[in-house]
Amino acid sequence: MTECASLATLLNGLLSGKVVEILPEPIGTLPSVCAKVLVSQVLGYAIVTGSALVKLPQFIKIARAQSAEGLSLSSMIMEMCASISLFCYYIALGYPFSTWGENFFLFFQNIALTLLVLHYSVGLASGKSVVTILFCGMLGAVLYRRSIPDVTLPSWLCSTLNLPRCSVTCEDMAGGLPSVLLLLGRIPQIVQNVKQGHAGQLALITYLMNTLGCIARIFTTLQQLNDPITLFTVTTAAVQNAVLLAQIILLGSAPPAAAGKKRE
């Protein structure tokens, strides 16, 4: 369809304020499939824009309390590694920035947030912090340069799982690793919240924005990408963010006494 083919131009027109000149016909008469693509494009850029500061409320809450009370350090580290993997996965594929741009901003925000949590929990000069920083740096370098050789799976496993191919590339690893890290990484925080009876210093606004952003990203992924790895990753993240959001609402933050003890 000519209307669908010109959606990229239409979106550029929306951004530059020249909509009237570019629209081929009234927006209400565009085919529904084109409308979905347009909504997907706009949602994609909205997600990217919102992600630029999504971690700021969490950063401010920890800094004001001068405490990482109730936060799972292992969850933070795994989320940072997931962000590094996603950044290295998408940047080499040439996907439209609107389909993955939030990972560009989350890459830097998760690094800063993890360093802050390390500072208030074990100290940046501790051996644990140094090892974490070195490991994450090496992980990013290896995945970005695609330095891991391809792995060939046994033919019987490929046929059993009905896989389209038996080789696993470094690109596949970079795309699949975040799903595993996010799945494993959020579980310690969820369990810790249940055990301690509160959500620590988790910020409500951050996880509300995370949840809404992931739900919107599921829609944009279905509309713009034929990538099951990306779909599984964002769906997993949406479910876990929703669980953490529910815990923050139902359990509340760390009591002042707990945060005060951590600062002393």
pLDDT, one tens digit per residue, over 173-214 is: 887 888 788 778 788 889 999 998 988 888 899 999 989 988
Residue with tokens 């600062």: 263
Residue 24 is given by DSSP the state: S
pLDDT tens for each residue of 239-259: 999 999 999 999 988 776 555
Q: CB–CB of 70/196 below 8 Å? A: yes
Compute the distance between CA of residue 84 and CA of residue 102 in angstroms, rounded to an integer. Answer: 12
∠ CA 185-46-176, rounded to 5°: 30
Global pTM value: 0.69
**pLDDT score at 116:** 92
Least confident among 23-27, 47-51, 54-58, 76-80: 23-27
CA distance 85 to 76: 14
Task: For the chain, give every domain's residue range.
Answer: 2-10+19-254
Tokens read off for 183 = 């799945």
pLDDT one-digit tens code per residue, 49-69: 877 888 899 899 899 988 888
Residue 136: enclosing H or E segment and its boundaries?
helix 127-144
For the residues 2-30, what does the mean pLDDT come to? 47
